[in-house]
Amino acid sequence: MIQALRLHAPGKLLLHQEADPIPASDEELVRVSAVGICGSDLHWFNEAGIGDAHIAHPLILGHEFAGVVESGPLRGRLVAVDPAVPCGRCEWCLTGRQNLCVNMHFAGHGEMDGALRTLLAWPAANLYPLPEPLDALDGAMLEPLGVALYALDLSPLRAGMSVGVFGCGPIGLLIIQLLRASGASHIIATDRLPHRLEAAESCGADRTFLVEDTTDHAAIWAAAGQRGLDIAFEAAGDADALEAAVQAARPGGQVTVVGIPSDDRYAFTASSARRKELTVRIVRRMNHVYPRTIELAAAHRVNLHSLITHRFPLDQAPQAFQLASQREGLKIVIEP
């Protein structure tokens, strides 16, 4: 028997004893070691859904995870696990844009159970062995790192650019680390929480702005050298953050939208975006970046452990979700 944590309704997580999973012919068994709590998990926890997806059965959350393989050629290996299972047959899969697969199954989303359990069966093609000295915590952090890396892939980033990150949760902080490693000359960061701005400075931000009731657009514009930001990353899932990104971007610049808004709506001042002829690019998860995230982590180009502030066992997962909902710390990890 295994232990599995299921979401039954908003805020209602219950631990179950369930039968061991039986792997399909293309799957292997993975003993789950570490699972990160993501902002999208919090949407499920607090709202029993995200966007137009809603809970259909008691759902196992968790899509940022690593574990030890218990069957097949990789038996005994520590692996990071890609949570996205595309069909491989639709137009988007066949043209190399698997993250847009119309038949996608994704861990902890909709009908597909995720990683908050002690043992699961997962496609072997989605298991990525981790080299030393990477551990299970690093492996769980590769999924948010992958989102951050893909966001940079979709942006016209070049060395020497001035860039802003609006929202300094774990993905925003990873974007800052990647920007610094990629040669951005000036990085501005904003958030509503002081401890996140302290982390942003540690990750490489040059200027930080604490956002309270309103955003000081003029101060951010001035900090960008009176010409605006070449690229503005919105990573808060917040209307004010998106508006600030639009206001801070230079004429002809790009706003890259990573955050997921709770009301399923994006909104910003149209005249500002139109007059500056901004490009607004929206990020959909990631697209085959795990090998690159592993290389970045193994080469110490990013510091993943620095973002992990709390660790909980599986039977304390409800407390972990409550803490994450209060925006305490940075990345909270559950270790089944």
Instruction: State the total domains in the chain.
Output: 2
Q: Is residue 222 part of a domain?
A: yes
Residue 95: exposure state from Cβ atoms within 10 A (0-12, 13-18, ≥19): exposed
Clarify whether residues 180 and 227 are in a common domain.
yes
CA distance 141 to 139: 5
- Which of 282, 304, 324 delimits the end of a domain? 282
What is the pLDDT averaged over residues 51-62? 90
pLDDT band at residue 327 using 50, 70 and 90 as cut-offs:
very high
CB neighbour list of residue 326: distance below 8 Å, 6 or more residues apart: none
**Is the sign of the CA dihedral 321, 327, 329, 330 positive or negative?**
positive
State whether 136 and 165 are in the same domain. no
For 231, phi and psi rounded to 5 degrees?
-140, 135
Q: Are residues 131 and 9 in the same domain?
A: yes
Q: Across residues 7-23, what is the average pLDDT? A: 95
> 12: domain CATH number?
3.90.180.10
Q: Using 50, 70 and 90 to split pLDDT, how confident is the model at 48? A: confident
Q: Single out the residue of 99, 244, 101, 64 nearest to residue 165, CA to CA.
A: 244
pLDDT confidence of residue 65? 98
Q: How many Cα atoms occupy the beta-carbon half-sphere of 153 within 13 Å?
A: 16
| 81 closest CA partner among 51, 112, 111, 53 | 112
pLDDT reported for residue 289: 96
pLDDT digits (tens, 9 = 90+) for 189-231: 999 999 999 999 999 999 999 998 677 888 888 888 888 999 9
pTM: 0.95
Q: How far apart are CA 233 and CA 82, in angstroms?
A: 24
Average pLDDT, the chain: 95
Lookup: tokens for 289: 């970046």
Beta bridge partners of 280: 255
How far is it, in rounded angstroms, from Cα 84 to Cα 132?
25
Q: Residue 16 corresponds to which amino acid?
A: H
DSSP single-letter state for residue 188: E
106 and 167 in a single domain? The answer is no
Domain extent, residue 126, equals 2-143+286-335
Is there a domain that residue 63 lies in?
yes
Residue type (1 letter), 120: L
* CATH number of the structural domain spanning residue 239: 3.40.50.720
- 149, part of any domain: no
Query: If you average pLDDT over residues 66-73, what whole number do you get?
Result: 96
Query: Do 253 and 208 share a structural domain?
Result: yes
Give the confidence band of 68 by pLDDT, cuts at 50, 70, 90: very high
pLDDT at 22: 95
Q: What is the mean pLDDT of residues 300-324?
A: 96
Read off the pLDDT of each residue in 67-89 and give the average, rounded to a whole number. Answer: 97
Mean per-residue pLDDT, 166-178? 97
Is residue 226 located within the same domain as residue 322? Answer: no
Same domain flag for 245 and 299: no
The predicted-structure confidence for 110-160, as pLDDT tens digits, reads as follows 889 999 999 999 999 999 999 999 999 999 999 999 999 999 999 999 999
- One domain, residues 181 and 67: no
Q: Is residue 150 part of a domain?
A: no
Name the one residue in this structure whose structure tokens are 């501005």.
Answer: 188
Three-state SS across 56-110? CCCECCCCEEEEEECCCCCCCCEEEECCEECCCCCHHHHCCCHHHCCCCEECCEC
- The number of helix segments (H) and strand segments (E) in the chain equals 10, 19
- With 90 as the cut, is the pLDDT of residue 11 above it? yes
3-class SS shares of the chain: helix, strand, coil, % to 5: 30, 30, 40
Per-residue confidence (pLDDT) for residue 205, from 0 to 100:
98
Kindly state whether residue 191 falls inside one of the protein's structural domains.
yes
Span 240-262, average pLDDT? 95
Percent share of the chain, pLDDT over 90: 89
Cα dist from 108 to 64, 83, 85, 122, 323, whole Å: 10, 8, 12, 13, 19
117 and 194 co-located in one domain? no
Is 98 domain-assigned?
yes
Whether the pLDDT of residue 55 is over 90: the answer is no
pLDDT at 51 over 90: no
Residue/partner pairs of 55-58 with CB below 8 Å, 24 or more apart: 55/7, 55/9, 56/110, 56/111, 57/111, 58/6, 58/7, 58/8, 58/14
| pLDDT reported for residue 216 | 83
Regarding whether 39 and 126 lie in a shared domain, the answer is: yes
pLDDT of residue 310: 97
Contacts 24+ apart (CB under 8 A), 82-85: 82/126, 82/127, 82/128, 82/143, 82/290, 83/107, 83/108, 83/114, 83/115, 83/126, 83/143, 84/126, 84/285, 84/286, 85/112, 85/123, 85/126
- In this structure, are 124 and 232 located in the same domain? no
At 49, the pLDDT band (50, 70, 90 cuts) reads confident
Domain C-terminal end among 264, 282, 300: 282
- Does the residue 320 lie in any domain? yes
- Please indicate whether residue 78 or residue 222 has the higher confidence score (pLDDT): 78
Residue where a domain stops, chosen among 262, 282, 302: 282
**Stretch 230-246: mean pLDDT, rounded?**
96
**101 in any annotated domain:** yes
pLDDT value at residue 333: 98
Say whether both 130 and 74 belong to one domain: yes
Q: How far is CA 143 from the centre of its chain?
A: 6
Instruction: Measure the N-to-C terminal CA separation of the chain; round to a whole number of Å.
Output: 14
Element (H, E) at 142: helix 136-153
